[in-house]
Every structure is written in C-alpha cells, then in structure tokens.
Amino acid sequence: MENLGFLFTNDPAFPELRKIQDFSIVNLESLIRDPSMSPNDVNLFILDSAKGNIIYSKNSAKIAYFHDNALVDYTAILVLPSGKILLISKTGFLNLCYLYTAIGSVVKTPSCSDSNISAQRFYNYKPDQGTVIVKTSSDALKVFSTNDNSLTDLMISPIPVSIVDVSYSPPKRRLSISDKKGTRISVFDENESGGFQIRTQTESFSFTQSEGKVFSAPYISSLAINRDGIIYALSNVEDSIYTLDQNLKVVSVFEDTLQFRPFRKMIEPLRIRITAGNEDLYILGKNYVSIARDLDLNSSSDFQWSLPINQDSLKQAVMDSFKQPNFDIRKSLFDQPGVKAILDSYRTTQ
C-alpha cells in the first residue's frame, strides 16, 4: 500500500499511503474530467488522514496528491460531480474548503475553515442537485445542500435506529439502510413529496450454496443499492458480499476463495460503494480498496484500473519472498530482494 505512488508515477518522492481512512468514487462533470476517460470511468479520491493527504486519480493511469496538515485525523471524504470535496473534520464538522479543478488539481479556498454543521457520516444522495445525506451524532438523517449550505430533515417512516450505512438509488428513487447496529436492512421508496416510506425489511442474512456451504452474517457492515434495486451487503466477519433481490431475499454470496489470505482481494471489508455507470463495486478494507463486478448484470472483463506492471510476476515474487531464508521481517514486502528487483526493473524501463 505504501508504494502506491511509486507504482503509478515512478516517483520515489511520491508520499507513501499510510492509511485509507475513507474514499470516494465520482463521475465528474465533463468540464472538469480528463477527456481521455470513457463515459463510465470514475475518479477515485482516497483520504489518508494519517499523513494529511488526499491521493486522487486524474485519469485511469495517472494519480496525484494534495497535502494539508489540517487534514490530519479527518474521518470522511465525498466528492461531487461538480468537483466539490466534502470532508468531516476530526472534531465532527463538515468541511467545504476543497475543490477538484479542471486542470486536475485539488485546491483549498484561502482562509477557509470547518463549518458549524455537525456530521458523523455522509452519503451520496442526489449529486446532480448538489445534495448529500448526512448522519448526525444523534443518529438522525438530514439532507445537506451544497448550493446554499442548508440542512433539512430527511422525511422517513419509520425512523431507522442505530444506523450503520445508507445507500440511495437515484434511478429507482429507493433508499436502503443498514440499521439496528447492522442486524437489519430496511428499504424505503421515495414518494412525490420527497419523503420515504418503508417498502420492506429483513433481519435474516442466511444462504446455503449449491455445494452445501452455509453463510449466516451476524450483521451487515455496509451496503450499496443499484439502479434496479438489487442490494449488495458486506459481511466483514465472513469476508463476503451478499446479493439481495428487491424482496431482500439473499440470492448469492461472493467470497474470495484464495487459500493464502494475505493475497485475497477482500479481507475484513468495511465499506462498499457502487458506481453509477457500469455499477462496479468498490470495497474498502483496512489497507486496500478492491473492485468487484456482478457478472450476472455486467459480464464485461474490461475494468478501468490496472497496475502499470505485470501483477502476476509481482504477486509471485511476494509469495516467493516468504520462502527465502533471508526474509527480513523488519522490512516492507516491497523491500524484500525479489520484489525489489521487479520494482527496480520497472523503474529502469520507464
């Protein structure tokens, strides 16, 4: 993880990625997005609150970073199509001081400071209208408008309790919520007045695969709803993604079956988000962002991202390094001789 900048920029001075506190995926407006990107491509923004950095993609092959000591210990990031960057400060207030610009850089408004709007988490709502859903410290859901900085109640019945995560589907006008400390999923339909009424809910997350393996998540740590109302729910206890139909029936469970757990692409997943275009699933873990796709809905093998070096050779070198008698536990995996040789060869060919 710490070598992310070098892998994509070949710049040893690029700051190490210390911690992925939060991330945001956004399909930027045409005026500020890189013209080389396809319509469904997204920009990825990573908040490294340990270092005070925002690491972000300019396009599918180029990343950059923005540093500000004020960002240390910030807890959340959300970027809107307009380029507005919303953050939650270490003291629990919304920050609206940062912006992604048409030249591919992040800038801060001079003399800008945190707002007086208290927030614990925020979620995408109607980005084209500049609105997001905010969860307050009292567990209430509000609608925040970035156009006039107004905060209004989200009209919802019944009121969810002990909210864990929220996901809204603009095409379906449907809201899904993991509440009761993650032991329940509730789905709400939006009415003409903009309020939400309960559609269905469940507290049962069990599934038996055809080969007999049984899954039974004790709670749901995060969820995402797609344009058709299909819900993807994370179980960070089982390292798995549950797929639930519109009636909240579990229809499948995905898990990474690699035997060597450090190379699994999904370990203790914490948060899941979905892109609006091709509906790729972005999963946040303790030290990674992984990408998955529901092949039943999109069977294309064309993913936006890839490492600029051969991933298989790098993976094999890392695995081989564990077998070497000179393996140094004091060093990073990327500094083990075999792995370092591959990275050095990449550096000399650029």
What is the predicted pLDDT for the residue at 87? 99
Q: How confident is the model at residue 312 (pLDDT cuts 50, 70, 90)?
A: low
Comparison of pLDDT for 239 and 287, the residue scoring more: 239
pLDDT of 185-219, one tens digit each? 999 999 999 999 999 999 999 999 988 999 999 99
Q: Report residue 42 as tokens.
A: 């997204």
Question: Can you give the residue ranges of every domain in the chain?
Answer: 1-153, 155-308, 312-350
What is the predicted pLDDT for the residue at 1? 47
Interatomic CA distance for residues 295 and 175, integer angstroms:
24
Superfamily of domain 155-308: YVTN repeat-like/Quinoprotein amine dehydrogenase (2.130.10.10)
Q: How confident is the model at residue 310 (pLDDT cuts 50, 70, 90)?
A: low
Buried residues in 279-300 as b, exposed as e (16+ CB within 10 A): bbbbbbbeeebbebbbeeeeee
Q: Which residues contact 7 (CB under 8 A, 6 or more apart)?
A: 307, 308, 309, 343
What is the predicted pLDDT for the residue at 264? 64
Measure CA 202 to chain center. 24
pLDDT of 57-88, one tens digit each? 999 888 999 999 999 999 999 999 999 999 99
**Over residues 287-292, mean pLDDT:** 85
* pLDDT for residue 184 is more than 90: yes
pTM tops 0.85: yes
What is the predicted pLDDT for the residue at 262? 57
Pick the CATH number of 1-153 from 2.40.160, 2.160.20, 1.10.287, 2.40.128: 2.40.128
User: Whose CA is closest to 336, among 347, 325, 349, 346?
Assistant: 325
Residue 173 pairs in a beta bridge with none
Q: What is the mean pLDDT of the chain?
A: 89
- Residue 294 backbone zone (phi > 0: left; psi -120 to 50: alpha; other: beta): beta
pLDDT of 35-46, one tens digit each? 999 999 999 999
**Over residues 108-114, mean pLDDT:** 95
